[in-house]
Amino acid sequence: MSNSHTPPLKLIVGPCSAETEEQVITTAQAIASKYPHAIFRAGIWKPRTRPNAFEGIGEEGLPWLKKVKELTGMRTATEVANARHVEACLEQGVDVLWIGARTTVNPFSVQEIAVALKGVNIPVLVKNPVNAELSLWLGAIERLDLQGIKDIHAVHRGFHTSEKQAFRNDPKWDLAIELRLRAPQLPMICDPSHICGNKELIPYVAQKALDLGMNGLMIESHINPEMAWSDAFQQLTPLALEELLDNLKVRRPELPAPENGKELSALRSSINKADEELLQVLFRRMQYAMEIGEYKKKHNLTILQVNRWEEVLRDRVGIAQAMGLNRTFVKEMYNLIHEESIRKQSEVMN
């Protein structure tokens, strides 16, 4: 999975839920035999939409995590949703806590957790909120930071969508990338289990996360997934986990100092030149849009000409596709250009 030229990958692995002591210990030992430096995760409290679903074993399972650490040496992690959860975990020596997607959406709950952790030196992971709102994700991280918690990680686990798609949760990679741009020093871990909802897609999502430079993976692994009490379809056996990790390629964020980066620098210079040309073309296009706005004003024409726009979009997307460009990308780009052209013409006509 990695070599001397690639950065170490943070692994957080274990079952969705702690179900029985035997299940927890057996799973942990199987994982530790291959990945002793991984962090062992298991849900103790499980927030569920409806009350009759399995909502976790509760505090009874915390000593099981303590036993995992004693037997395997692995650090342990679980989800917390309120101050009482935090206190119980700290009492039992849980090493890493995470705030789940359903909790991240509630600033009151996040604040309660942050206050309970004030003065405690423990890593805290913040999963993205269920809904695709970057400010909630950032806000949860900031609340922890304001209480002096320094070891904070973001966890990208996808976002709820009502649209039918292959994934359980929409990855919305653009939001994860935007968070990295806004907080470049914040480590980010991907949770492909919750993005995918089924084990077949996990290799694809895990590799994409690493290609984007994410710092680790949180993957659900159960000694017997078919018998799991929650999320059975997205959990891997320890053997399948090993196969997955063996086939992942960890990318380098930068070339090591002794290696020659002249070729990459030259390519980046070419990109810079192309971007400058692109901006000049966009500037000229907006100038033409304003001239058209003047003409429409003079002849008392509406700004929006639906038939003309449909013709332009159809023509440009067709040309782009023939050139090997992505149809969806070009269509979205032209829609943005059209919106700005409309705005420019509105300025002229008013």
Residue with tokens 């919106």: 339
**Is the domain of 155 the same as that of 243?**
yes
Alpha helix ranges (H) inside 1-77: 21-32, 62-72
For residue 116, being part of any structural domain is answered with yes
What confidence tens digit (pLDDT) does each residue in 209-240 have? 999 999 999 999 999 999 999 999 999 999 99
Query: What one-character-per-residue DSSP string does 218-285 give?
Result: EEEB-SSGGG-SS-GGGPBPHHHHHHHHHH--PPPSS--TTS--HHHHHHHHHHHHHHHHHHHHHHHH
Please report which helix (H) or strand (E) contains residue 206, including its range. helix 202-211
Among 222, 247, 272, residue at a domain's last position: 247
Residue 51 belongs to some domain of the structure? yes
Q: How many domains does the chain have?
A: 2
Residue 65 lies in a domain: yes
pLDDT tier, 43 (very low <50, low <70, confident <90, very high otherwise)? very high
What's the angle, vertex CA 11, arms to CA 194 and CA 60, rounded to 5? 70
Name the residue with tokens 């291959």.
Answer: 34
Question: Is the Cβ–Cβ distance between 138 and 105 less than 8 Å?
Answer: no
Asked if residue 206 and residue 336 are part of one domain, the reply reads: no
Same domain, 236 and 275: no
> Quick one: 144 and 274 in the same domain?
no
Based on the domain organization, do 241 and 302 belong to the same domain? no
Q: Quickly tell me which residue has 């292959």 as its tokens.
A: 166
> Residue 23 is part of a domain; what is its CATH number?
3.20.20.70
Q: 186 with 44, same domain?
A: yes
- 167 and 87, same domain (yes or no): yes
Residue 4 lies in a domain: no
User: For 255-306, what is each residue's pLDDT tens digit?
Assistant: 666 556 778 888 889 999 999 999 999 999 999 999 999 999 999 989 888 8
Instruction: Give me the phi and psi of 221, to 5 degrees please.
Output: -140, 130
In terms of Cβ atoms closer than 10 Å to its own Cβ (0-12, 13-18, 19+), residue 111 is middle
Co-location of 193 and 299 in the same domain: no
pLDDT at res. 260: 60
Q: Which of 217, 247, 277 is the last residue of a domain?
A: 247
Range of the domain at 50: 10-247
CB 153 within 8 A of CB 96: no
Report how far apart, in Å, the C-alpha atoms of 48 and of each of 100, 171, 176, 222, 246 are: 12, 21, 25, 20, 33
Name the domain boundary from 247, 272, 294: 247
**Rounded distance between C-alpha atoms, residue 335 and residue 160, angstroms:** 25
Both 83 and 226 in one domain: the answer is yes
Task: Please say if the pLDDT value at position 48 is more than 70.
Answer: yes
Residues 203 and 133 in one domain: yes
pTM score, two decimals?
0.82
Please report, for the domain that includes residue 331, its CATH number.
Answer: 1.20.59.10
Across the chain, what does the average pLDDT equal?
A: 93
pLDDT category, 9, cuts 50, 70, 90?
Answer: confident
Q: In terms of domains, do 243 and 266 share one?
A: no
Q: Are residues 154 and 232 in the same domain?
A: yes
Residue 76 pLDDT greater than 90, yes or no: yes
Q: How confident is the model at residue 8 (pLDDT cuts 50, 70, 90)?
A: low
Q: CB atoms < 10 A from the CB of 321, how many?
A: 13
